[in-house]
Structure 1
Amino acid sequence: MTIRANRQAYLVQVEGSSALNGVELAQHDAMEILDETIVIKACSQSHYPLIEMPKA
């Protein structure tokens, strides 16, 4: 997934664990994503909302 210019995304790892662009996220971790292509890999059964919006 690519977050386009002038856009941002926010991901919250609600359950399980994942790696986002190689950065490991455990349960309850969160990450802000700006202007980049992201690759999400679930490391265990995972649930995470990803919210994309205009940059503030």
Structure 2
Amino acid sequence: MNTYDIAQMGYGEADITPETFVELVGFFRPNNHSKGVRDPLKLQTMVWKYRG
């Protein structure tokens, strides 16, 4: 009988910067919307699956 170790890896990256003004939850002020974007918001994820 043969035994094989299998490892799988997945990677993803996305730009999740809002394109429009967003409502700021948790901050009280009369106009409760963001004023713009200073820096882009990026998302990165990596998933490993190992079966041996």
User: What TM-score does the superposition give when structure 2 sets the normalisation length?
Assistant: 0.30
Q: Indicate the structure whose relative CO is greater, using CA pairs within 8 Å and at least 6 residues apart.
A: 2
Q: Which has the higher strand share?
A: 1
* Rg larger for: 2
After TM superposition, the score normalised by the length of structure 1 is 0.29
